[in-house]
Structure 1
Amino acid sequence: MNKNHSFIGSNVALITPMFADGAVDYESLNLLIDFHVDSGTSSIVSVGTTGESATVGVKEHLKIINHTVKYAAKRIPIIAGTGANSTSEAIELTQEAKNLGADACLLVTPYYNKPTQEGLFQHFRLIAESVNIDQILYNVPGRTAVDMSVDVISRLSEISNIIGIKDATGDLSVIKQLVEKCPEDFLLLTGDDATAVDFLIAGGHGGISVTANIVPKELQKVYLSVIAGNTDLAKNLNSNLENFHKNLFLEANPIPVKWALHKMGKCDKGIRLPLLELSNEFKSIIEHDLKELDLV
C-alpha cells in the first residue's frame, strides 16, 4: 500500500450541518472540519450520503465541496461525493470537484435505473477516462437497488485512477473475494460500521464511517490497531462503540447522527425534507449512548 496511504484508517462520511430552516450552516461545518483535523481522521468525505447529497441541489453540492476544500486548506484530504445515476452528470460533478481542488472523488453506483453489470463497468470506466482524479467506487445495494459484482470491481481496479472501493454491503464474503481478485494497492474500505473490524481483519484498509462523526479519535484507534495486527485491542475498544454502530441506523442515515451531533452541541438540528428530525421514541436511546461515552 503506497499511493493510497492518505485514506488508510478511519475516513469520516461528514454530515452537512444545517439550521432549523434547512440552510447550510457553514460556521458549524468549519468547526466539524477542525474537529476531524484535531482528531486525526484520515480524510473527510464531503457531500456523500451522510452529507445529504440527495437533498442538496447541484450548485449547492459544489458550494459545500468548495467551502470544505478551502477551509480544510490541505490539513486533511477531502474526498468529494460526485456520484449520480446519469453518467454525464457524474462526469460533470467529478470534473467540477477536481477543479475545486478535491483530493479524490467517491462515486456511488447509479441508483434507481438498475443498470446491468456491463453498464456499471462502462459507466465507471468513462468517468475515470474523462476526469484525471483519483476515484473510489461505492457499492451500497441497500440504497441503490443495484449490486456491483466482484468481477466488475476487479476489472475496474485495473484502471489507474480508480484507486479503491467503499463496500457497504456488510457481507464479509465480499471483502475476502476483493482481497483475492484486486491488486494489492487497490484500497478496500468498508461503509458498514457494524462489521468494520471483521472487514479489516479480512484484509481491508479502512472505512468511510458514520460513527466517525461522533467519536473520530476513538474509531481511528480501533482501525489502526487492527491494521497494526493488534486485533484483541481493536475488538476491546470497538466493544464500547457497538451500540452506536447499530443505533445510528435506527432511522435512515443521517437522521440519527445529525441529532446526536446536535445533542453534543456541534450543530443545529436542521435536516431537509423528505428527511425529518429523529423520532421521539429513539432520542432516549441515542442520548443514553452519548452519556455512556461521556459525550454529553
Structure 2
Amino acid sequence: MTQALYGGVNAALITAVGADLAPDHVRTAAHAKWLLANGCDGLGVLGTTGEAASFGLRERREILESLVQNDVPVTRLMPGTGVPNITDTVELSRHARDLGCPGVLVLPPFYYKNPSGEGLYAYFSEVIERTGSGLAFYLYHFPAQSAVPLTVELIGRLIEAFPGVVRGVKDSTGDPAQAEGFIKAFASRGFEVYPGADNLLQRMLAIGAAGCITAASNICARFSQVVFTQRSGPEADAAQRVVDACRAAAGSAPLIPGLREVLARSTGDEGWRHIRPPHTRLSPAQADAVWAAWQGTGALPLPGLEEYGMSLAAE
C-alpha cells in the first residue's frame, strides 16, 4: 500500500478535565507527549474515548490548539471533527487543516436513524467539497455508538469520487469480519484501515491493516508497538498477549472512567479522575476491580512518567 499518513499505533487520546469540568490542557498535552514517547506513532484526538460529544465547538478548537501550542507535533494528530450537521463538521475540519493536521476522523451524521446510502453519500460529499483541499478524510465506523453503519459500497463510492482524499477508515465494531472486509476491498488501493479493537491488531496487520486507533493504547501502546514493528514471532506474540489482556481489562469497567482511574493511580494524580457528566467516576469497588484487572495485564507500572510531568507526589 502507499505510505499511510497515520501508519502504526495511535491512541484514542483521553481528554483531561479540571475540577470545574473545563478542559485541562496541561494534563492532556503531558499525556499526549508521554504517549508519543512510549509507543504511539500518532494520536486520535477528540474521538469517543476523548469524549468529543461532551465538548462544544469552541472547546474542541481550543483543545486541539492547546495540544499544538504545548509542542505536541501537529502532524501526529488525527482529530475527530464529525458532528450531525454539515456546517460545524466543515468548520472543525477546516480548523484542523489550518493548524496543520494531515487528516481528520469523521463520524456519519448520527442523530437521524436509518439514513439512506444516497443521503450518507451526499452528506460526506458536501463536507469534503465545502472543506476544500489539503486534508485527508478518515471515516469513523462505530455503529454501536452512531447507529449509522458505513457499507463497503458507500466507502467504495466515496473513494472513487474523492481519490486520495477519502483516505481510510477506523473500524470500531470489534468484528474481525468487518475490518477484514474493508481491508480486502480497499487496502490494495492505498486505503488505510485502522481497527479500534486492540485484540485484532496482529491479525489485521497480517492482512494489510495500516495500524490501529485504540483506547487501551492510552496505557499499553509500547506493547502494541512491538506487535506493529515485529508483526510475528515470539516477541510479537508475547506482546499481543499483553495487549489482549489490556483490552479485557479495559472492558471490565465503564471504559472512560476506568482508563482515568488507571492513570490516576499510576501517576498519583487525583486530577485524572475528574470527568464530565453524563460519565461518572467509578465506585470504590469498581475502581479497585479495574485496577486489579490492569495490574494483571503485565502493562503496569507505566514507564517514564516523571519526564513528562505525569507524576505528582502522593498525598
TM surpasses 0.5: yes
Partner Cα separation in structure 1 for residue 102 and residue 264 of structure 2: 29
Q: Equivalent residue for 2:305?
A: none
Q: Equivalent residue for 1:144?
A: 146
Structure 2, unaligned stretches of length 5 or more? 303-315
Partner Cα separation in structure 2 for residue 279 and residue 238 of structure 1: 30
Partner Cα separation in structure 2 for residue 118 and residue 136 of structure 1: 19
Q: Equivalent residue for 1:53?
A: 52
Give the AA of the match of 2:117: Q
By how many angstroms is 1:147 displaced?
Answer: 0.9
TM-score computed with the length of structure 1 as normaliser: 0.91
Give the AA of the match of 2:284: N
Give the AA of the match of 2:226: K
Matching residue within 231, 238, 241 for 1:239 = 241
Partner Cα separation in structure 2 for residue 260 and residue 147 of structure 1: 32
The aligned runs of 1:124-135 (5 Å cut-off) are 124-131=124-131, 132=133, 133-135=135-137
Matching residue within 174, 179, 183 for 1:179 = 183
Q: Provide the aligned C-alpha RMSD in A.
A: 2.0
Q: Equivalent residue for 1:295?
A: 301
Q: Equivalent residue for 2:209?
A: 204
Q: Percent identity?
A: 25
TM-score computed with the length of structure 2 as normaliser: 0.85
By how many angstroms is 1:173 displaced?
Answer: 1.6
Q: Equivalent residue for 1:224?
A: 229
Q: Equivalent residue for 1:261?
A: 263
Partner Cα separation in structure 2 for residue 252 and residue 128 of structure 1: 34
Structure 1, unaligned stretches of length 5 or more? none
Q: 2:114 matched to 1:87? A: no
CA contact (8 A) 2:74 2:100 kept: no
By how many angstroms is 1:233 displaced?
Answer: 3.5
Give the AA of the match of 1:259: E
CA contact (8 A) 1:85 1:109 kept: yes
Q: Deviations over 1:187-241 (max 9, x none)?
A: 0101122333322233211110111111222221122322xxx155433212123
Q: Equivalent residue for 2:276?
A: 272
Partner Cα separation in structure 2 for residue 30 and residue 146 of structure 1: 32
Partner Cα separation in structure 1 for residue 187 and residue 287 of structure 2: 44
By how many angstroms is 1:84 displaced?
Answer: 0.9
Q: Equivalent residue for 1:2?
A: 2
Aligned length in residues: 292
SS in 1 for 2:40: coil
Q: Equivalent residue for 1:164?
A: 168
SS in 1 for 2:53: coil
**284 and 73 in structure 1: CA distance in 2 versus 1, 3 angstrom threshold:** closer
By how many angstroms is 1:122 displaced?
Answer: 1.7
